Structures are given as structure tokens and as C-alpha cells.
Amino acid sequence: MWLTAVNWSLCFFFGSASVHVEQPAQRSAELEELVIVIQSQRNSYHVQRSYQRKEEILQEAANLGQGVPVVLLLHELSDYEGNWSILPALPLLSAIYGESASWFLFIEEETTAILRVLLKVLKRYPVQEEWFLGQRLHDNKPSIVHHYAFSEDPTSFGYPDPAAGWALSAPLYQRLAERIQYENLKSDFTIDLTHEIALFIWEDGRGPKLTSVPEFCTETRDNCATTFTTYLPNCGDPVSKTDIFVAVKTCEKFHSVRIPVVKSTWEKDATHLEYYSDVTDASIPTIKLGVPNTEKGHCGKTFAILRHFLSEAMPKVDWLLIVDDDTLISLPRLRRLLRCYDPKEAVSLGERYGYGLMQNGYSYATGGGGMVLSRMAVSSLVSSGCSCYSDDAPDDMILGRCFTSIGVPITHSPLFHQAQPDDYLGTRINPQHSISFHKHWNIDPVAVYRNWFQDSHLRDEL
């Protein structure tokens, strides 16, 4: 009986005490505690678009009268080009804003943030906890773009649609900023930004998964916190066909297999086009540059093309497009995109990958998706003396390293694709008016061209 009384007394004591313990209040985010990072690029067109987006956000904040968020253009954070991959930038972002920011929101230049809705959304998630928010995407099948991750069940892993924006709460970004300073990434390559960030955050199941937020939108609908315009902006009439020179890299063993595909699909949309091979074939015709064929890399051939482009024998045009013989491309869409860029500026444009970005590495435009260079970029690179360490070095990576060394930024467009259409999530590529795809493995390339590009010269120029 005594023991029972004692036990009852202890239970009563601790139970009563627990009633009086004050739990920390669940604090909601305020607008001035929000840092909006616009994933801007150094090219002048993208700088202009980013400043326009920043002014729109600040104007909306002024109209709301509920405080002013920090709006940061990513390219202004530091001189390091690799900040576009976000993870290298986290320690600096945390050091500058970590004491005052409850949330970081990352958006693209064409993403609109509706602050009054965004604030309501963020208030649902206590800022004391780790949150990773966005519009959830998942692969439907294993993809080479994602290194075949989660091959047994690709749908099990979610990553955010970059066009809809994505957000990190303070406890999460602070922990990530610490991790990134001592932990190596599993791959030296940065290919699909938000998928790789989601993998790093997930930390093999030890970290949080992405929380899907329906108000993070790409298409405009009721109650959206973010919306997205387009990856293919309208900057005016497309550049003239005569302003683009197309260089197709090929070799003898593919003359009868791949060149007929080019000729039956997109060659007709080019005014200036030449095929560069290891042999002369008058039936195509091809041009022999005096560089032996290599099974990989093709750096020697590409640098020979760059020098040839600047020679007196060539038409003096604004843009050089270098593609593989198994690249499928819409030249009308490319002409429309190029209207946004100044050919007097050193421009290197394509699908941007990164190599060793956590170790002060470099970015490059992937070769298979097509590398677009302004005449100024070609001239700057050739005159720099930068060159291949061997003929079979990876040409796109060497070009990226050279451009980095001379201060020419790699400008990204997700309309270019290093892989085939089926390697990408349909919801990400269907709305984009894609410009290119690459490789003929296990597909009918003519059918792929017809499906994606056949009428592009009609649809895109109306």
C-alpha cells in the first residue's frame, strides 16, 4: 500500500510538473525573414531578366506592406561560377543570412513568386524544423540523367521542379551548409541540379524527403505561390538562317548510318552547314581537317573546327553551332532563342553540366546537345592559346575549362538535351519547346524528329 502511494505521488509530481513546462512556441515565418535567391546567370540577357524579376518581387512586397524579403541574384553572390549548382554556395549564404533568415526560396529567372500566397504557405511549416519544399517530380523509369538512381522503384524518390521553385527552412540549410564543408559528393559531375540536391538532402534516408506543396506551380491556377512563364522567351523575330554556321562532327564509319538522318530531317533548315570527318567523301560532302578520328573525346577535331570558322575561307556569321552526327535539333527554335543574345558578347550556350564544382571546378556545355558559340567567344578562345591535351580529350569539357580560364560564362538553357527524350520526365520537357536531343540508340531517330521537331518551323514562327 505504501509503495502504491509513493508511486502514485511520484506520478502525480512528475505529471503535475510536466503541465507547467513551457514548450517553445511554434513561430511562423515573416516576410523579412525570407531570402529569395534568383538563379541568375552572368550573360547580359539573363542579368537583365533577373533584375526585372527582382524589381517585381520588391514592388509586390511594397504593395503588401508586410515587410521586405531579401532578393538575391545568385551571380552576384561571389565570383565563383560554380555557385549555380547551389551546394557550393550554401556556406556563404548561411554565413551572410543565417542569423536572420527563416527560409531560403530558390527560383529561376522566369519564376514568379506571389508573396501573399507564399507567406501563407510557409506559415504551415514551423520554422524550427527541417523542411524541404517544392513541387514533387519523380522518374517513371531509371534514367541515365540521374545515374539510374532508384532503379528498382524510380517513383519512390521525389525531387523539386526547378521551374516551380523550392525552399529550405533555416535548420535544414544551416545543417547542409556545415555538411558541405567536410563531406564529398558521390559524383564529381553536376547534371540535374534539383535531383542531386534532393539526394544530398535525403542523405541515404537520414535526412528529410521533399515535401510536396501544391501551391508551388508551373502553370497558372488559383492559389499559386509560384508560377512559371517559359524557357523559350519571345525576344522578337528569329535571327536569320544566314547568321548561323552549323558544324557537324562525323567519321567514316557513320557516313552511311547517321548522315542520312541529318539530311532527311533538319539539314534543310540550315543555310551554312558542313560535315567534318576523318576522310573526304564527295557524296555528302565531308571536309577533312587533318585530324585523325578518335573513338572518344574529339577535342582535336573540335578545335580544328574553331580555327576553321575564323578563317578567311568561311562566311563571317555571328553564331557557330557544333553538333554530333547523332544530334537531332530544331534550328527554327534555336534561331528564336538566339534573338535574346548579343552576338558581340562572348556567349557559350547549351545544356550546362559541371565538373568538380565543390573543388573549384568548371562548367561546360554538353557536346551532344549542341554547343552554340558567338564569334566573339570563338575568337577569344582561339586567341587565348588554350588547347587540347590530346586529340581524344573530351571536347566539351576542355572548351568549358578554357572558357572558365578566360572568364567566359557557360550560359545554360534546358532546351538542349544530351540524352534522348525518354530519358527525361515528360512533364519537364513537353512544355519547353525543346531544341535538341542526342543519340540514336534503340530508337527510330527520324520518328523522334518528326514527333518533336517536324513542324517547329511552322509552330514556332507564327
State the average pLDDT for the chain: 91
**CA–CA distance, 342 with 212 (Å, rounded to integer):** 39
DSSP single-letter state for residue 356: S
Q: What number is the average pLDDT over the span 256-263?
A: 98
94 has a pLDDT exceeding 60: yes
pLDDT of residue 297: 77
Share of the chain above pLDDT 70, in %: 92
- First-to-last CA distance in the chain? 92
Average pLDDT, stretch 358-381?
97
Is residue 263 within a helix (H) or strand (E), and if so which, with residue range? helix 259-264
Residue 25 pLDDT > 80, yes or no? no
Asked if pLDDT for residue 313 goes beyond 60, the answer is: yes
Dist. CA 174–CA 66, nearest whole Å: 25
**pLDDT exceeds cutoff 90 at 420:** yes
Each residue's pLDDT tens digit, 220-231: 899 999 999 999
Specify the CATH number for 32-228; select among 3.30.750.80, 3.90.550.50, 3.40.720.10, 3.30.420.10.
3.90.550.50
| Average pLDDT over every residue of 413-417 | 96
d(CA 336, CA 329): 13
Count other C-beta atoms under 10 Å from residue 219's C-beta. 10
Cell of 46: 539573363
**pLDDT tier, 295 (very low <50, low <70, confident <90, very high otherwise):** confident
> What length is written for the chain?
462
**Predicted confidence band of residue 428 (pLDDT cuts 50, 70, 90):** confident
| Fold designation for 241-459 | Spore Coat Polysaccharide Biosynthesis Protein SpsA; Chain A (3.90.550)
Task: For residue range 188-211, list pLDDT tens digits in order.
Answer: 999 999 999 999 999 999 999 999
- CB neighbours (10 Å) of residue 186? 11
pLDDT at residue 431, rounded to an integer: 59
pLDDT in tens, 170-192: 999 999 999 999 998 888 999 99
pLDDT at 112 exceeding the cut of 60: yes
Domain residues of the chain, as ranges? Answer: 32-228, 241-459
* pLDDT at 103 exceeding the cut of 90: yes
Q: Do domains 32-228 and 241-459 have the same CATH topology?
A: yes
pLDDT at 361: 96
